[in-house]
Amino acid sequence: MFDTVVIATDGSESAARAVDVALDFAARFDAAVHALYVVDQGDVAASPDELRKELVDALEAAARDALDNVRDRSDRSVTTAVRDGRPGAEIPHYAEEVDADVVALGTRGRHGDHGFVLGSVADAVVRRSDRPVLTVRQLDATEVDERSVA
């Protein structure tokens, strides 16, 4: 039923919880795992010309760290990819390319809480994806993740 899971990550705390939930989901269905990081070209284009190369280098390093984190959290093989573009468009495009059965991502990312319920990237992915999307919200300080209590 679920053979391929795409985990979209930006290395944020919200994404970390989504990674854990998605890896658990993949393990339950013995699904292949793809981890994706999208270097947001909107961020790059908005940066001053003299800082652009440094920003790209920093974003590429962040991508490596975020994807390494997914690999480190997983007990299974993880296929990783880095794409350039707008995350809200690239994530569904990648999911289609790899014929994913589900896409998982956090509801808030590096840029904080843009929406009342979903962050801007999560909202865009939900609206654009023709695949099921599993959104995982970050717990606030007063909530306890039941898996961490056991």
Q: d(Cα 81, Cα 29) in Å, to the nearest integer?
A: 22
Is residue 105 within 8 A of residue 125, CB to CB? The reply is yes
Q: What is the dihedral of CA 80, 84, 89, 93, to 10 degrees?
A: -50
Low-confidence ranges of the chain (pLDDT < 70): 108-118, 139-150
Q: Supply the pLDDT for residue 113.
A: 45
Q: Supply the pLDDT for residue 118.
A: 54
Q: Supply the pLDDT for residue 107.
A: 87
Q: Supply the pLDDT for residue 98.
A: 98
